[in-house]
């Protein structure tokens, strides 16, 4: 996680593990947090 956050911080983001056991992104300046959603992969 530390290495990921080093890269994300350059663009103003940070990754964190939430209580729901998912990895989320947060914009450092606005504190806006991503919302997980299902992604379907075409076969």
Confidence (pLDDT) at 20: 83
Per-residue pLDDT, 39: 63
Q: How many helices (H) and strands (E) does the chain have?
A: 1, 2
pLDDT at 34: 85
Number of domains in the chain: 1
Mean pLDDT of each 10-residue bin along the chain, 43 residues long: 96 92 92 79 69
Residues 22 and 9: beta-carbon distance below 8 Å: no
Rounded distance, CA 20 to CA 31, Å?
18
For residue 11, what are its two tokens?
A: 């663009």
- In this prediction, residue 3 carries a pLDDT of 96
* The pLDDT of residue 12: 97
Phi, psi dihedral angles at 6 (to 5 degrees): -60, -40
Print the domain residue range for 35: 1-43
| Distant-in-sequence, close-in-space partners of 13: CB < 8 Å, separation ≥ 6 | 25, 26, 27, 28
For residue 38, the model assigns a pLDDT of 66
């Amino acid at each position: 996680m530390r290495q990921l956050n080093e890269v994300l911080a350059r663009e103003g983001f940070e990754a964190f593990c939430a209580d729901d056991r998912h990895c989320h992104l947060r914009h450092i300046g606005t504190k806006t947090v991503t919302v997980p959603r299902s992604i379907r992969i075409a076969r």
